Amino acid sequence: MGSCRHLDIRLHGIRVAADGKPSLVTSMQYINGRHPHPRQIENYLFGLGWEGFDDGSETLDFRHVRLRQIIRDAHPRNWVYQAATRIMVPIDISIEEY
């Protein structure tokens, strides 16, 4: 996706939900920028071969058919746009294979 210099992601642990599905608990340093407009997210991902995906959930989701992947929860607060470099950095999206 985007590129951010010196992006360290710390793994704090694994949380298991009541339904048995695991989630990674992570943190990372502050990334300077602003949250993009939903249209900016769409344009960015469409340019990388993703398409809108609606499975009836309330999240902003995308699918890449060739990669067989789905991005979930891609709303603006889960991205940082760095205007100087024109880089979009995902900060809390979920990517899964199907």
Tens digits of residue pLDDT in 24-69 = 898 888 889 999 999 999 999 999 999 999 988 888 999 999 999 9
User: Residues of the chain with pLDDT > 90: what percent?
Assistant: 63
> Where residue 70 falls among pLDDT bands split at 50, 70, 90?
very high
Q: What predicted TM-score, i.e. pTM, was given to this entire model? A: 0.73
- How would you write 14-59 as a 3-class SS string? EEECCCCCEEEEEEECCCCCECCCHHHHHHHHHHCCCEEECCCCCC
8 within domain boundaries: no
Match 């899964």 to its residue by tokens. 96
- The pLDDT value given to residue 13: 95
Beta-carbon contacts of residue 55 (< 8 Å; ≥ 6 apart): 61
23 within domain boundaries: no
84 within domain boundaries: yes
How many folded domains does the chain comprise?
1
91 within domain boundaries: yes
Q: What would the mean pLDDT of 72-95 be, rounded to a whole number? A: 92
Alpha-carbon distance of 78 to 92, in angstroms, equals 5
